[in-house]
Amino acid sequence: MAEPAIVLVAAVARNGVIGRDNRLLWRLKSDMRHFRALTMGRPVIMGRRTYESIGAPLPGRRIIVVTRDPAWHAEGVAAAPAPEAALALARIVAAETGGAEIIVAGGAEIYAAFLGMADRLEITEVDLAPEGDAVFPAIDTTLWREESRVSGVKTADDEAAFAFVRYARR
């Protein structure tokens, strides 16, 4: 069986911002549904602060938290001391479940650590430009090509216009 693809999933504002004070800066219910569809049944790697902002394991997904704190523990979640260790664990989970993808779900430091290893990016471009303290790494178009773009249909539950954009490594 081939190695599972590493897929970064993020909602990113026009100015690259993904959050402030360990929280999202917009409410997009459509993107939450999209995130659920992309991640369901797959191992999901995230940083400790991102996990703590969510507050609980995501149903139907095996969560692997990258943390430098060896004493950190959360019920129903695996902890890894570094991105490489998280990836090794996610590969085991993917092999056990027949998964073809490993999801990386933030935050900024985790995205930066995994960008060079990623096979695909699933970016929700959010039509806002808020001030924030967490940004997604720049997407170098010499390394990534836009594979698809779908304009989202903004509903009453969405605070901004958005598009789902898939990038593949060149």
When the candidates are 3.40.50.2000, 3.40.430.10, 3.40.190.10, 3.40.50.720, the CATH number that belongs to 5-169 is 3.40.430.10
What's the pLDDT at 13?
Answer: 98
Angle between helices 108-115 and 83-97 (to 10 degrees): 80
**What is the model's pTM?**
0.97
Share of the chain above pLDDT 70, in %: 99
Q: How confident is the model at residue 1 (pLDDT cuts 50, 70, 90)?
A: low
Q: How far is CA 131 from the centre of its chain?
A: 20
Q: Which two tokens stand for residue 43?
A: 């191992």
Q: Smallest Cα–Cα separation from 125: which of 163, 84, 77? A: 163
Rounded average pLDDT over 158-166: 98
The answer, yes or no, to whether residue 7 has pLDDT greater than 80, is: yes
Tokens 């129903």, residue located: 76
What's the pLDDT at 70?
Answer: 95
What's the pLDDT at 16?
Answer: 98
What's the pLDDT at 2?
Answer: 82
